[in-house]
Amino acid sequence: MSKAKAYSAASATSPLVRTTIPRRDPTEHDVQIGILFCGICHSDLHTVRNEWSSVMATTYPCVPGHEIVGRVTQIGNEVTGFRPGDLVGVGCMVDSDHSCPSCRANVEQFCPDVTFTYNSPDKHLGGVTYGGYSESIVVDERFVLRVPANLESAGVAPLLCAGITTYSPIRRWGDIKGKKVGVVGLGGLGHMGVKFARAFGARVVVFTTSPNKKEDALRLGADEVVVSRNADEMKKHAGSFDFILDTISADHDINAYIHMLGLDGNITLVGAPETPFPVSAFALLFGRKSLSGSLIGGIKETQEMLDFCGEHNITTDVEVIPIQKINEAYERLLKSDVKYRFSIEMGSLKLT
């Protein structure tokens, strides 16, 4: 076992502070990674503050972070896919049972025995897993991803959660080339949805409540921006979409977006509003429309997404911060005051 510098929260009301955590020595299938960047996901904040206690209560101390990019520093004897020095990524999962139907179908995120990167029972050391707000991590090579060398690491980190969360449902829908695709919300998830939909050749329309996001949406690749509070603008697009990616996690009127769909249109949720919402059955029946959800993506698909990003030069728009600014960044995250994701430069841990 070794010790690693990290940032952790001691309780739901404590700030994140500098600490030291144990990391296991690499077993024969493990890869040890020196972390360069870790993105800040809204899930980190929810978990640190125990806001998802009804679904998965937080065990403290909590070290969040599941958008990890780093370099391999050491490998186990049996590791075949990686060598020291390789640029790699780790996302929301670090292990699974490798045998259930979900694992066999390459959707490990739905494995009943999945080990999430943080706040999940740690099979090796006991307690819970500790995430990427740390100088290093040790992960089974089957959950380590190759990062294309041409991409800038700070902007790659959030691809491991925000990227795959938006890439997966778009791919699942099918070939969106030439189709009309809507993206609801222009935050960490939404701005990636726009980039991917654009790269796959869709005609992209962004729905936003803030008119001042228009210019940015167009810059990111949207063809058109609709201010969702403007009933006239909304009306113009009714019944015209093939696919809509809904990235909003605040309460909102889902029926307004179901009405935007055309025949056989689908709206997929990737955000999780706290309160259940009413859905108009008639809105779905007329036009044979569907409403679905999607959760990150499997390891195989995550690698495919990273390779796609390498080919198309896609990264997340990030604001790089030192770890010392983490608590301030959380406050700003609550106000959506970031374009569009924070990426922590983990070398800053050495300064504390």
Q: Given the rule CB under 5 A, which residues bind Zn ion? A: 41, 43, 96-97, 100, 103, 111, 161
Residues 6+ positions from 276 with CB-CB distance below 8 Å: none
For the bound state, the minimum distance from the C-beta of residue 7 to Zn ion, rounded and expressed in Å, comes to: 17
For the bound state, the minimum distance from the C-beta of residue 185 to Zn ion, rounded and expressed in Å, comes to: 15
Our CB check for Zn ion shows the closer of 161 and 318 to be: 161
Buried-exposed string 218-243: b where 16+ CB fall within 10 A, e elsewhere: eebbbbbbbbbeeeeebeebeeebbb
For the bound state, the minimum distance from the C-beta of residue 253 to Zn ion, rounded and expressed in Å, comes to: 25
> Taking Cα atoms as reference points, which of 83, 71, 2, 90 lies closest to residue 33?
71
Helix (H, G, I), strand (E, B) or coil at 184: strand
Cβ pair 323, 346 in contact under 8 A: yes
For the bound state, the minimum distance from the C-beta of residue 173 to Zn ion, rounded and expressed in Å, comes to: 21
Cβ pair 61, 9 in contact under 8 A: yes
Our CB check for Zn ion shows the closer of 23 and 46 to be: 46
Our CB check for Zn ion shows the closer of 94 and 103 to be: 103
Cβ pair 270, 283 in contact under 8 A: no
For the bound state, the minimum distance from the C-beta of residue 321 to Zn ion, rounded and expressed in Å, comes to: 17
Gap between the Cα atoms of 241 and 264, Å rounded: 9
Our CB check for Zn ion shows the closer of 100 and 272 to be: 100
* Helix 188-199 and helix 162-173, axial crossing angle in degrees, nearest 10: 40
Our CB check for Zn ion shows the closer of 39 and 182 to be: 39
Our CB check for Zn ion shows the closer of 100 and 234 to be: 100
Our CB check for Zn ion shows the closer of 33 and 202 to be: 33
Task: Please report, as a single letter, which amino acid is at residue 335.
Answer: K
Q: In this structure, are strands 87-90 and 68-75 parallel, antiparallel, or unpaired?
A: antiparallel
For the bound state, the minimum distance from the C-beta of residue 228 to Zn ion, rounded and expressed in Å, comes to: 24
For the bound state, the minimum distance from the C-beta of residue 119 to Zn ion, rounded and expressed in Å, comes to: 12
